[in-house]
Amino acid sequence: MMQIRKLENSILAGGSLLAAVLWTFPLYWAFITSIRTEDRVVSDAAGLIPDEFNLTAYASALFNTKLLTWYWNSIATSVIITVVVLVSGMMCAYAISQMRFPGRKLLYGVVLASFMVPSQALIVTQFILMNDMGLINTWAGIILPQLIVPVVIIVYKQFFDAVPKEMREAVVLDGGGDYTLLFRVYLPLNWGITTALAIITFIMAWNQFFWPFLVVTTENMMTIPVGITQVNDAFGVYYARLMAVALLGAMPVAVFYLIFQKKVTEAVMISSGVKG
């Protein structure tokens, strides 16, 4: 019995290790490529073991490309998208969940329906719209179509639905209105889900490639994922530099997640403890 158990554990550990290696390998490969010289990268001698530690690609990425501008564009657009999506999403969810008005169910139906439309299906019409509004090559052009995130509304609504009715009535008797309810009770009560949604929305906005790629054509307005496509010239692709830019581009998201990951766990624990 003990032996079967041991075997099971070994198989599980082996499987996990294999999955971890498969998952980490591209990152590892990107890293060792980024610390090699361009000649070394394309030579037959480039093996799996790091044999050089050369930061030229990073220096080149930082000083010969517009990486810092792209950083700024990415950070600004992602933060604006996150803030607007969360604030508008929670207000819409609050209205659908807590207020009684004609057409409420229809409105929720529309939100659910929009969830089912793939964003690619709307790309052409969105592009024409942005073009007509003169928003090509602007932050507004990048941001506006990304503000529709129905899943945020759906998730918030479900959490607001779960807040006991008495809590609402207590606030009403205390003299509070809808804004008091939303910002001083419902939001703090669901802080965990707000943090989680903020992280998801930020990462989604940061990683967004297709739409910014279409709506931005000047290098100065590009976000990082779009900027990566510019790290080549008439002589072809510079692999080391490309990988350096990719790693530098992914780093803020990784750091952002690592910082807030703890917060998410904390927040979820608080909200579940509070609800218990």
Partner 1 sequence: MAVQLRNVRKSFGTVEVIHDVSMDIAAGEFAVFVGPSGCGKSTLLRTIAGLEDTSSGQISIEEQDVTWTEPAKRGVAMVFQSYALYPHLSVYENMAFSLRLRRASKREIEEKVLEAAAILRLEEQLHKKPSQLSGGQRQRVAIGRAIVRQPKVFLFDEPLSNLDAELRVQMRLELARLHKQIGATMIYVTHDQVEAMTLADKIFVLKGGIVQQSGRPLDLYRDPDNRFVAGFIGSPAMNFLEGTVTGREGDLTILEVDRTEMVARIDATPAPGTSVALGLRPEHIRVGETGLPVRMEMAEELGGLSFLHTRRPDMSEIVVEWRDGEHARMGETLHLACSPDKIMVFDTEGHRMR
Site stretch for partner 1 (CB under 8 A), options 122-130, 164-172, 212-220, 231-239:
164-172
Please choose, out of 20-28, 30-38, 43-51, 184-192, the segment that lies near partner 1 by the rule CB under 8 A. 184-192
273 binds partner 1 (CB under 8 A): yes
Q: Does 173 bind partner 1 (CB under 8 A)?
A: yes
Is residue 118 a contact point for partner 1 (CB under 8 A)?
no
Is residue 189 within the footprint of partner 1 (CB under 8 A)? yes
Distance of CA 80 to the CA centre of its chain: 12
Among 139, 191, 213, 256, binds partner 1 (CB under 8 A): 191
- Please state, in angstroms and rounded to a whole number, the distance separating the CA atoms of residues 103 and 167: 25
Decide: is 172 part of the binding site for partner 1 (CB under 8 A): yes
Q: How far apart are CA 141 and CA 267, in angstroms?
A: 34
Among 272, 186, 242, smallest CA distance to 34 is for 242
169 interacts with partner 1 by CB under 8 A = yes
Three-class DSSP category at 262: helix
* Interaction of residue 252 with partner 1, rule CB under 8 A: no
CB of residue 164 vs partner 1: minimum separation in angstroms?
A: 6
Integer Cα distance of 96 and 178 in angstroms: 12
CA-CA distance, 262 to 266, in Å (whole number)? 6
CA distances (Å), origin 44, targets 39, 40, 47, 48, 238: 10, 8, 8, 11, 16
Contacts with partner 1, residue ranges (CB under 8 A):
164, 166-167, 169-170, 172-176, 180, 185, 188-189, 191, 270, 273-276
